Amino acid sequence: MERQKILVTQSSMPTLDEYVEEIKSIFETKHLTNMGPKHEELQQQLENYLKVKHITLFTNGHLALYSALKTLDLKGEVITTPYTFASTTHAIVQNGLSPVFCDIEKDTFTIDASKIEELITDKTCAIVPVHVYGNVCNVEEIEKIAKEHNLKVIYDAAHVFGVQYKGIGIGNFGDMSMFSFHATKVFNTIEGGGVTYNCDDYTRKLNLHKNFGITGPETTEAVGMNAKMNEFQAAMGLCNLRHVDSEIEKRKKVAMEYRKRLQDIKGIKLSAIQKDVKPNYAYFPVIFEDEFGKSRDEVMEQLAKNGIFSRKYFYPLITDFECYNKQYDSSKTPIAKYMSDRVLTLPMYADLSLEMVNEICDIIIGGKK
């Protein structure tokens, strides 16, 4: 009997009975969407869990980020990172803004705050840093730069659900933060997303953007879109939120086992453990240096031969995308380019057994061919 494939991620889900119990009331009320009771309950619970003043929910993270940028009515250039998922840059461009790419830090994969100021011009209106793999950006330095130059800061926080910095929920930094609740994330609503913020004025604007700009039965005040989270998504979120802390604890055990096996292997470099950060163990990236003797791609192929699927994440670099490579030069962000060519994210999810972690490590370091 062929062994089940080990994928790079596996969605956390409640039991079928728990989800069925949660959605029973939807069948009774027939309230399927348009900010129903499940949506409102999840919104309140997420504000409490993430320790934020406000969160507005969306059908996915991309539309959440797009709406956050739209709400701030930005014009001009936005400094961001090329080491991210396509959505980050696409949302900037779709708002009519011009991305300016800043290199990243070697240890955390996040935007290098020390290189931001040299990119600021009279056209710069905002910074969109990305918390990567659960690692937190240098939020203090970014805040200092933003205040000095009167810039908005919108964090792509897709990877940092539940993460805290110095006891503060990560969604409190910057003007806004976007969280993804996609099926591959630590916490999911199947698809979904949210924007956190402290300014009361943003609530109405975000709600306008996600519901066609409609404010009443006969009034439409803005040009909006349909980006509302439906009740079945919210129900999944309510179920998953009950278990997210235990899921993160399981992920921690997986991450610690990987570290134990790989941290002293020549040519392998692991992500830094950040001070003052309560992590969520969202991903497990590994850098394969030349000294390892096998390239990242060779390791990936060897794992695949054994039914284990890893991911070159993030590859290619945003500035190497076909839709951007004529405008940008990846050599101008050499660290991001270097990491994109060498990082492999290994399977990471709550139900991954430690036995499988060790098998994966055996294959990587040559214990199994």
Q: What is the pLDDT of residues 177-190, one digit of tens each?
A: 999 999 999 999 99
What is the dihedral sign for C-alpha 288, 289, 291, 293? Answer: positive
Whether residue 167 is found in the same domain as residue 42 = yes
CATH number of the CATH domain containing 331: 3.90.1150.10
Please give the angle made by the CA atoms of 80, 154 and 127, to the nearest 5 degrees.
35
Q: What is the DSSP letter of 331?
A: G
Give yes or no: residues 202 and 289 share one domain.
no
Residue 66: give its domain's CATH number: 3.40.640.10
Q: Are residues 37 and 132 in the same domain?
A: yes
Q: Do 86 and 222 lie in a common domain?
A: yes
Is residue 11 in some structural domain?
Answer: no
Q: Is residue 314 part of a domain?
A: yes
Assess whether 168 and 251 both reside in one domain: no
Q: 51 and 76 share a domain?
A: yes
* 305 and 276 assigned to the same domain: yes
What was the pLDDT predicted at 4? 83
Residue among 109, 128, 79 nearest 274 (CA)? 109
pLDDT at 2: 61
Q: What is the 3-state secondary structure (H, E, C) of 267-314?
A: CEEECCCCCCEECCCCCEEEEECHHHCCCHHHHHHHHHHCCECCECCC
Q: 244, 186 in Cβ contact below 8 A?
A: yes
Residue 205 and residue 190 in one domain: yes
Query: Does residue 82 have a cis bond before it (omega within 30 degrees)?
Result: no
Which residue bears the tokens 């570290």? 259
Same domain, 207 and 278: no
Distance CA 86, CA 252 (A): 27
pTM of the model: 0.96
Residue ranges, the chain, pLDDT below 50: 368-369
Domain boundary (238, 270, 301) is at 238
Q: Is residue 260 part of a domain?
A: yes
Residue 232 lies in a domain: yes
Q: What is the DSSP letter of 185?
A: S
Give yes or no for a contact between 207 and 221, defined as CB atoms under 8 angstroms apart. no
Q: Is residue 86 situated within a structural domain?
A: yes
In angstroms, rounded to a whole number, what is the distance separating the alpha carbons of residues 34 and 30? 12
Match 């728990």 to its residue by tokens: 18
Pairing of strands 193-197, 54-58: antiparallel
For residue 80, being part of any structural domain is answered with yes
Same domain flag for 29 and 158: yes
Are 184 and 274 members of one domain? no
In a domain, 219, yes or no: yes
Beta bridge partners of 216: 219
Q: How many structural domains is the chain composed of?
A: 2
Helix (H, G, I), strand (E, B) or coil at 368: coil
- The whole domain housing 201 covers 16-238
Q: Tokens at residue 156, please?
A: 């792509």
| One domain for residues 80 and 150 | yes
Report how far residue 52's alpha carbon sits from residue 197's, in angstroms, rounded to the nearest whole number.
Answer: 7
